[in-house]
Amino acid sequence: MQYDVIVVGSGPGGYVAAIRAAQLGYKTAIVERENLGGICLNWGCIPTKALLKSAQVFEYISHAQDYGISVEGAKHDFEAIIKRSRGVADKMSKGIQFLMKKNKIDVLNGFGKLNAQKELEVTGADGTVNKYTAKHIVLATGARSRELPALPIDGKKIIGYREALTLPSQPKSMIVVGSGAIGVEFAYFYNSIGTEVTIVEFMDRIVPVEDADVSKELEKAFKKKGIKVMTSSSVEKADISGNGVKATVKTSKGEEILEADILLSAAGVATNIENIGLETLNITTEKGKVIVDPYYKTNVDGVYAIGDIVPGQALAHVAMKEAVICIENIAHKEGKFHHQPEVLDYNNVPGCTYCVPEVASVGMTEKAAKDAGYEIKVGKFPLSASGKASAAGATEGFVKVIFDAKYGEWLGTHMIGYNVTEIIAQTVASRKLETTYHEQLDVIFPHPTISEAVKDAIEVALGEAIHL
């Protein structure tokens, strides 16, 4: 069968690309080997948020006394929490099915592989192979848990994020290797329901991509919750011959043996670029990524790549935007779309981590701004001084803003605390519109909110703090 556009992979990048292509009048198909919505929707972003919500509810109930409410005998049901999380994922996956039907997109179930230029073969679960042709083929095959040589995942004692979402019973203890978003979110979840958690991080601080002040604050909050944090440490080997896991951890002070029921490997992701026919067409790759132009075209005409398999942040919202840019550029060239889309500014991509306290950031860290040679104004407003945070009983954390002193350019925002993932978008939009700190102070922020802490932080940067 012939299509205008075939998208391989139905994660956030893939399904958005397919829908936008269909909206622009292209006959479109999408290839998916497992579940519509991909890893993010079925095994990542969405079900983890459901787990985290259960953890937060349990935390609230456990501290109900602090809010003048008496609750007795509160306990959690691990199986029910997992079941709810899977239910949320299933509902969202069915939502994608609906969107495919609504937009008249054909779903081709199976494993997609480039066979020749503009030709794709799809192998179904039963081994049946069908060939399809398309003028444009978009690769959006995503990524999976990166397997460390010392920690081969067996799915039982050494697990990845996927198994962490569906454990049959709650472990009494867990080692989490890696403290990026996946690691700290699972560490928070399991700790909140009573699992003894140890984080092992190779770098000298947790959430190492964040501003150093954020890392310090999160480590303090985690230790307060009873999570053990080991930085500048690495798991050299893991013995699974006994009942649980014995992990040999190399630290700056020597080797240490950690014992736990389960070890979660959360040390990043590896791209799914094997066996999809890249070699057949001599598509250029580098360090496990497909090389593309600013509009996501590969070195082969008619083949494009988006999402985790191309350079840039491996985030759902990045893949979604890349999808739209890619399709709209194709359509623009063919006279189906009125203008050439703007290329993606990877320096203005927000990152969010949904543990408690939440972490959100965009732009340069303080160190990066200094290293780049900027003279900077930095403002840091603690949420302990926020009326809304005090009323919510969530005063840990802060909002930190960084501006160029000379021209007032907003270089970055780094937040940790209650609901901060919901307010980072303001900085993203403002940076896109190139607003200065003076313009920001002319904006009226609602009171009392966490969002006004951004205004307060800007006032601190200018030496005009009112609430501090």
- Number of folded domains that form the chain: 3
Residue 418 pLDDT > 90, yes or no?
A: yes
Amino acid at 334: E
Q: Are residues 136 and 220 in the same domain?
A: no
Model confidence over 336-393: pLDDT tens digits?
Answer: 999 999 999 999 999 999 999 999 999 999 999 999 999 999 999 999 999 999 999 9
User: 226 in a domain, yes or no?
Assistant: yes
**What is the reported pLDDT for 40?**
83
Residue 317 pLDDT > 90, yes or no?
A: yes
Q: Are residues 15 and 137 in the same domain?
A: yes
Q: Are residues 260 and 316 in the same domain?
A: no
Q: Are residues 261 and 274 in the same domain?
A: no
Distance CA 340, CA 140 (A): 22
Residue 74 pLDDT > 90, yes or no?
A: no
User: 340 in a domain, yes or no?
Assistant: no
Helix (H) or strand (E) run with residue 387 in it: helix 387-392
Domain boundary among 267, 291, 314: 267
**What is the reported pLDDT for 116?**
87
Q: Are residues 239 and 179 in the same domain?
A: yes
Q: Are residues 319 and 371 in the same domain?
A: no
User: 467 in a domain, yes or no?
Assistant: no
**What is the reported pLDDT for 48?**
93
Q: Are residues 8 and 141 in the same domain?
A: yes
**What is the reported pLDDT for 415?**
98
Q: Are residues 21 and 124 in the same domain?
A: yes
Residue 145 pLDDT > 90, yes or no?
A: no
Model confidence over 77-125: pLDDT tens digits?
Answer: 999 999 999 999 999 999 999 999 999 999 999 999 999 889 999 999 9
**What is the reported pLDDT for 38?**
86
User: 342 in a domain, yes or no?
Assistant: no
Sequence-ordered list of residues with C-beta below 8 angstroms from that of 68, at least 6 positions apart, any chain: none
Q: Are residues 315 and 392 in the same domain?
A: no
Model confidence over 147-181: pLDDT tens digits?
Answer: 888 899 998 999 999 899 999 999 999 999 999 99
Model confidence over 324-335: pLDDT tens digits?
Answer: 999 999 999 999
Once rounded to an integer, what is the mean pLDDT over residues 312-323?
96
CATH number of the domain encompassing residue 420: 3.30.390.30
Q: Are residues 6 and 50 in the same domain?
A: yes
Domain boundary among 286, 317, 333: 333
Q: Supply angle C-alpha 337, 343, 347, rounded to 5.
A: 150
Q: Are residues 440 and 369 in the same domain?
A: yes
Model confidence over 211-255: pLDDT tens digits?
Answer: 999 999 999 999 999 999 999 999 999 999 989 999 999 998 899
User: 153 in a domain, yes or no?
Assistant: no
For residue 449, CA distances in Å to 49, 358, 383, 398 come to 23, 16, 11, 13
**What is the reported pLDDT for 147?**
87
User: 151 in a domain, yes or no?
Assistant: no
Q: Are residues 287 and 362 in the same domain?
A: no
CATH number of the domain encompassing residue 73: 3.50.50.60
Runs of H (alpha helix) within 181-315: 181-192, 212-225
User: 345 in a domain, yes or no?
Assistant: no
Residue 68 pLDDT > 90, yes or no?
A: yes
DSSP secondary structure, 390-446, as one string: HHHT----EEEEEEETTT-BEEEEEEEETTGGGTHHHHHHHHHTT-BHHHHHTSPPP
Domain containing residue 215: 158-267
Domain boundary among 214, 244, 267: 267
Average pLDDT, the chain: 95
Q: Is the pTM of this model over 0.85?
A: yes
Which positions are catalytic? 447
Model confidence over 176-213: pLDDT tens digits?
Answer: 999 999 999 999 999 999 999 999 999 999 999 999 99
Sequence-ordered list of residues with C-beta below 8 angstroms from that of 356, at least 6 positions apart, any chain: 52, 55, 56, 59, 188, 192, 221
User: 368 in a domain, yes or no?
Assistant: yes
